[in-house]
Amino acid sequence: MISRTRETAGRLRGLGTQTLAAEDEDLALVVLADMPGAALVVADDRIDAPVACQMPPGVDSSQPLSAFLGGLAATLEYRDDPDRATDQRLR
């Protein structure tokens, strides 16, 4: 487990975006805990898989991220002039 954590950490450090296998999610969370501001986005399927799930209204994506994007749409309120999204839970 320790060597696998180090391998995952090596793949994540210094990278803006990294694709990991589903079985590496728990290890990625351990590594990201030491990286302030880091976020883990879990896809519905392989990132190169066709989009099979329906996206939230007004959202278009070529990657299978409907659960993640649906969660954002459910918690963020879109406002315009100027364009922005606000999370009412944080107010």
Span 36-56, pLDDT tens digits: 887 888 888 888 888 888 888
My answer on whether 12 and 29 are in the same domain is yes
My answer on whether 32 and 52 are in the same domain is no
Rounded to whole angstroms, the Cα distance separating 54 from 60 reads: 9
Q: How many residues does the chain have?
A: 91
My answer on whether 50 and 86 are in the same domain is yes
Contact predicate 26/32, CB 8 Å: no
My answer on whether 87 and 55 are in the same domain is yes
Q: How many domains does the chain have?
A: 2
Helix, strand or coil, per DSSP, at residue 76? strand
- With bands split at pLDDT 50, 70 and 90, how would you rate the model's confidence at 89? confident
- With bands split at pLDDT 50, 70 and 90, how would you rate the model's confidence at 69? confident
Rounded to whole angstroms, the Cα distance separating 23 from 27 reads: 8
On the 0-12 / 13-18 / 19+ scale of CB atoms within 10 A, 66 is: buried
Span 11-36, pLDDT tens digits: 555 556 666 777 778 888 887 888 78
My answer on whether 52 and 77 are in the same domain is yes
8, pLDDT greater than 70: no
Which residues constitute the domain of residue 20?
1-40
